[in-house]
């Protein structure tokens, strides 16, 4: 506490504000001297001090005997002024502290430095202890002679306990916790951090946080950190990005990091809570793998249903090639009936028909090939075109229906109308799986339109960008879905088809949700059905 | 009447149809391609001899429905079904409707050639028979109702005496009519008359 002469008033700065006593007594006017010059104020001051309840404020003589007492001192220590005045202040210290000469040290420091601030265990009258914050100030008279000491003591047991508790929480937390200051220097770690990263705490504290960041992310990290400090809010780090930690041996592991700004004595800091998500990643990877296998099985089964159609499609060009080749053999053997130019032309046509077959074979092979789940940057428009050209016209022509692309107008054709947004941004997705979803939806749509004349049937596929999602609509004007069936539609083993397994839509939904998208359906019985799914637009970072 | 037989190819896959034409050319057969059943019907000429190679799965008119329509024609080339995708059901239906062959594309080169050759021969025989029948029917048209009565009884094996008593005319009158019948139908003997009647599809009434 200090009283500033120049104001003529008696501000109360609080016992912990040590700044006012930083200089030597010679440089600053002594507060007691000021008071002695202002008797009225001195009385006020005494009253003020005496009534302060939250702080023990008292004087010690040169030897350390208590010379004054206030209400705060009584409340904190339990001594009445008549019980304590004249006693040595070492009665507040524990036996150990007395043995170590702590009371004397405090006074010696105050004497030498003008002031001594300490925190420590102190005793009450009843022998119980409390945690005290104590500031001892040396008091000099007008002749600069040491006259005694002013002591301001605060009971900080409660805040000390709270601090202990939070320290305990940090050290017992399952997450690794790292406190980092504005320069990126680690100021505190908990034992889990040591375990997780393979460093001892002394190897971490004082070092740059970048030592825990894999090399490939190191370059960007300081800039991200600075940006965070500019607008620090409680949030997860690097939302949507995959984060990795780097162990002392250089190995990496996937992490999730929560950021929490803290204003501390050492300025603004950030508490990072780090979770090792290796296991979760592995589980996700596993389920993604299962989904890929399931999607592949679904694809094989779809292809199985299509196989007789595909055989027909391949038979045509093979038969044509065989015819040309046989004709050429016959003409070559007989040596007459055809010119060399004609033979060459027919051999060329043979090759063209074989190429046509190969193209079909390759399309099927690519279609049924098992590929482990891999996410790549893809354009959904191209997938739709692939599906339309692959599944049409083979898909359901056996049922007397052919599907034609825009423009063609065979009488038996269902018209497929493509409205693809050419400025559609790419998505990061598994091509095979999204194709399977499209194939399921297109097959469902065509089957739903079996009952209406092909000339009236309309299969529409459209794409658009809605917010941060790519949206795909697959619509038909077929028989529609009854309202009570809509809810069960995406459940496994729900089917309205005699030969269906009821897995198509169930798998489709798993695939879309696995891609952080959504799939919905709208239907009006007798009017038609629209299936709609969305996939998040690939972030620019992923495009490169 | 002595026209060269043609292999008519009806297939919506023009590449296949053309290759077939080239192949047939290599074994010395003339052919003509049609891209649809409708196309073939529009240009249909009952007098043109040969064989029809018919694809099953085509837009507008399928192979089988074209076959059905042609069955109503009094004279038509034999039909060989040629399909990319053989299924038993289609084969049975095609054969029931009188197809002379059912082949899968790419399979059985020799068998297909044989079938085509046989069909052409059969078509020729069929046309000859048809022509002969037409000629006989024209001859039969020359008979009077009375002569027709006598012819029917002759064909059922009755002697002149029985015919005379059955018709209530003299034996002489029956003999006269019989001579006029032989003359009009341009036959010399009873066995010739019976053969002619059989060729014309006439059957004894009793």
Q: What is the DSSP letter of A426?
A: P
Q: How confident is the model at residue A400 (pLDDT cuts 50, 70, 90)?
A: very low
Mean of pLDDT values over A354-376: 75
Is the confidence at residue A522, as pLDDT, over 80?
A: yes
Half-sphere exposure of A443 (CA within 13 A, CB side): 24
Report pLDDT for B136: 86
Contact A353/B at CB under 8 A: yes
Q: Find which of A309, A313, A315, A345 to mutate to test the B interface (most B CBs within 10 Å of its CB).
A: A315
Q: How confident is the model at residue A241 (pLDDT cuts 50, 70, 90)?
A: confident
Tokens of A479: 């028989």
Is the confidence at residue A172, as pLDDT, over 60?
A: yes
Residue of B nearest to A348 (CA): B19
The residues with which A461 forms a beta bridge, in sequence order, are: A418, A474
Mean of pLDDT values over A518-534: 91
Q: What is the pLDDT of residues A17-48, one digit of tens each?
A: 444 444 444 444 455 555 455 555 677 777 88
- Cβ of B16 within 8 Å of Cβ of A319? The answer is yes
- Cβ of A323 within 8 Å of Cβ of B59? The answer is no
Mean of pLDDT values over A508-521: 88
Provide ipTM, 2 decimals: 0.72
Report pLDDT for A312: 67
Pick the range with the lowest mean pLDDT from A26-30, A201-205, A214-218, A448-452.
A26-30
Half-sphere exposure of A160 (CA within 13 A, CB side): 12
Q: How many CB atoms lie within 10 A of CB A267?
A: 11
- Cβ of A327 within 8 Å of Cβ of B13? The answer is no
- Cβ of A315 within 8 Å of Cβ of B26? The answer is no
Q: Find which of B16, B17, B19 to mutate to test the A interface (most A CBs within 10 Å of its CB).
A: B19
Report pLDDT for B29: 92
Q: How confident is the model at residue B108 (pLDDT cuts 50, 70, 90)?
A: low
Query: Count of A–B CB contacts within 8 Å?
Result: 81
Mean of pLDDT values over A397-414: 43
Q: Find which of A309, A312, A316 to mutate to test the B interface (most B CBs within 10 Å of its CB).
A: A316
Contact B85/A at CB under 8 A: yes
Contact A330/B at CB under 8 A: yes
Contact A412/B at CB under 8 A: yes
Nearest-neighbour CA in chain A from B28: distance (Å): 9
Cβ atoms of A55 and A13 within 8 Å: the answer is no
Burial of A466 (0-12, 13-18, 19+ CB in 10 A): exposed
Is the confidence at residue A402, as pLDDT, over 70?
A: no
- Cβ of B84 within 8 Å of Cβ of A337? The answer is no
In percent, how much of chain B has pLDDT > 90?
A: 25
Which candidate from A311, A312, A323 shows the least CB-CB separation from B23?
A323
- Cβ of B106 within 8 Å of Cβ of A311? The answer is no
Report pLDDT for A372: 64
Q: Find which of B105, B111, B113, B116 to mutate to test the A interface (most A CBs within 10 Å of its CB).
A: B105
Contacts 24+ apart (CB under 8 A), A399-403: A399/A450, A400/A454, A401/A446, A401/A449, A401/A450, A401/A454, A401/A457, A402/A454, A402/B59, A403/A446, A403/A459
Q: What is the pLDDT of residues A325-343, one digit of tens each?
A: 989 998 988 888 888 899 9
> Using a CB-CB distance cutoff of 8 angstroms, which residues of chain B are in contact with residue A318?
105-106
Mean of pLDDT values over A491-508: 66
Report pLDDT for B154: 87
Pick the range with the lowest mean pLDDT from A36-45, A533-542, B18-27, B69-78.
A36-45
> Using a CB-CB distance cutoff of 8 angstroms, which residues of chain B are in contact with residue A320?
13, 15-16, 18-20
> Using a CB-CB distance cutoff of 8 angstroms, which residues of chain B are in contact with residue A348?
none
Report pLDDT for A374: 75
Mean of pLDDT values over A90-105: 92
Report pLDDT for A537: 93
Cα angle A10, A15, A113 (rounded to 5 degrees) comes to 105
Cβ atoms of A83 and A40 within 8 Å: the answer is no
Q: What is the pLDDT of residues A298-324, one digit of tens each?
A: 777 766 666 666 676 778 888 899 999
Report pLDDT for A367: 65
Q: What is the pLDDT of residues B147-182, one digit of tens each?
A: 888 888 888 888 888 888 888 888 888 888 888 988
């Amino acid at each position: 506490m200090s009283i500033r002469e120049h104001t003529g008033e008696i501000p109360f700065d609080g016992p912990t504000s040590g700044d006012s006593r930083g200089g030597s007594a010679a440089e600053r006017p002594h507060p007691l001297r000021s008071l002695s010059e202002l008797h009225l104020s001195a009385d006020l001051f005494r009253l003020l001090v005496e009534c302060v309840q939250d702080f023990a404020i008292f004087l010690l003589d040169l030897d350390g005997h208590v010379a004054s007492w206030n209400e705060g001192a009584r409340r904190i220590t339990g001594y009445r002024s008549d019980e304590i005045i004249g006693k040595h202040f070492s009665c507040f210290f524990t036996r150990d502290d007395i043995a170590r000469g702590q009371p004397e040290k405090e006074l010696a420091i105050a004497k030498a430095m003008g002031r001594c601030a300490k925190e420590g265990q102190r005793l009450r009258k009843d022998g119980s202890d409390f945690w005290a914050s104590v500031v001892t100030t040396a008091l000099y008279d007008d002749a600069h002679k040491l006259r005694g000491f002013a002591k301001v003591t605060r009971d900080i047991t409660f805040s000390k306990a709270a601090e202990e508790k939070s320290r305990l929480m940090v050290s017992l937390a399952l997450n690794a916790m790292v406190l980092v200051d504005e320069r990126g220097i680690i100021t505190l770690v908990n034992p889990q951090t040591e375990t997780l990263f393979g460093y001892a705490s002394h190897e971490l504290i004082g070092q740059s946080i970048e030592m825990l960041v894999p090399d490939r992310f190191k370059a960007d990290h300081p800039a991200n950190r600075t940006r965070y400090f500019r607008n620090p809010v409680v949030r997860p780090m690097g939302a949507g990005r995959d984060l990795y930690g780097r162990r002392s041996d250089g190995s990496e592991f996937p992490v999730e990091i929560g950021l929490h700004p803290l204003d501390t004595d050492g300025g603004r800091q950030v508490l990072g809570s780090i979770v090792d998500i290796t296991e979760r990643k592995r589980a996700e990877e596993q389920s993604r793998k299962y989904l890929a296998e399931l999607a592949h099985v679904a694809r094989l089964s779809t292809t199985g249903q299509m196989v007789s159609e595909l055989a027909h499609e391949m038979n045509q060009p093979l038969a044509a090639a065989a015819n040309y080749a046989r004709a050429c053999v016959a003409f070559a053997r007989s040596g007459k009936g055809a010119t060399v130019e004609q033979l060459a032309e027919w051999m060329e046509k043979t090759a063209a028909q074989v190429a046509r077959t190969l193209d079909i074979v390759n399309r099927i092979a690519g279609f049924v090939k098992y590929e482990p789940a891999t996410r790549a940057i893809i354009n959904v428009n191209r997938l739709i075109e692939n599906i339309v050209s692959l599944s049409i016209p083979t898909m359901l022509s056996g049922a007397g229906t052919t599907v034609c692309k825009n423009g063609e107008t065979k009488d038996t054709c269902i018209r497929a109308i493509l409205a693809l947004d050419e400025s559609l941004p790419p998505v990061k997705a598994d091509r095979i799986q999204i194709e399977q979803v499209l194939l399921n939806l297109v097959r469902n749509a065509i089957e739903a339109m079996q009952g209406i004349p092909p000339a009236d049937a309309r299969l529409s596929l459209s794409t658009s960008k809605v917010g941060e999602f790519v949206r795909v609509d697959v619509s038909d004007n077929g028989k529609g879905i009854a309202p009570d069936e809509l809810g069960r539609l995406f459940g496994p083993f729900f089917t309205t088809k005699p030969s269906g397994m009821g897995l198509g839509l169930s798998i489709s939904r798993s695939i879309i949700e696995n891609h952080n998208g959504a799939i919905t359906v709208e239907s009006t019985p007798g009017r038609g059905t629209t299936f709609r799914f969305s996939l998040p637009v690939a972030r620019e970072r992923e495009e490169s | 009447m002595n026209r060269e037989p043609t292999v008519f190819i009806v297939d919506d896959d023009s590449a296949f149809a053309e290759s077939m034409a080239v192949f047939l050319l290599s074994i010395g057969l003339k052919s003509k391609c049609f891209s649809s059943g409708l196309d073939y019907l529009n240009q249909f000429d009952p007098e043109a001899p040969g064989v029809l190679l018919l694809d099953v799965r085509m837009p507008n008119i399928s192979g089988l429905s074209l076959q059905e329509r042609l069955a109503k024609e009094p004279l038509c080339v034999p039909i060989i079904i040629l399909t990319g995708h053989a299924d038993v059901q289609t084969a049975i239906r095609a054969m029931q409707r009188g197809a002379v062959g059912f082949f899968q594309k790419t399979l059985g080169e020799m068998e297909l050639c044989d079938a085509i050759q046989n069909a052409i021969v059969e078509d020729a025989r069929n046309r000859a028979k048809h022509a002969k029948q037409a000629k006989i029917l024209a001859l039969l048209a020359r008979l009077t109702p009375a002569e027709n009565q006598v012819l029917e009884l002759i064909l059922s094996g009755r002697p002149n005496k029985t015919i005379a008593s059955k018709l209530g005319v003299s034996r002489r009158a029956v003999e006269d009519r019989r001579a006029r019948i032989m003359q009009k139908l341009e036959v010399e003997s009873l066995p010739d008359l019976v053969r002619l009647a059989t060729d014309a599809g006439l059957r004894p009434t009793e």
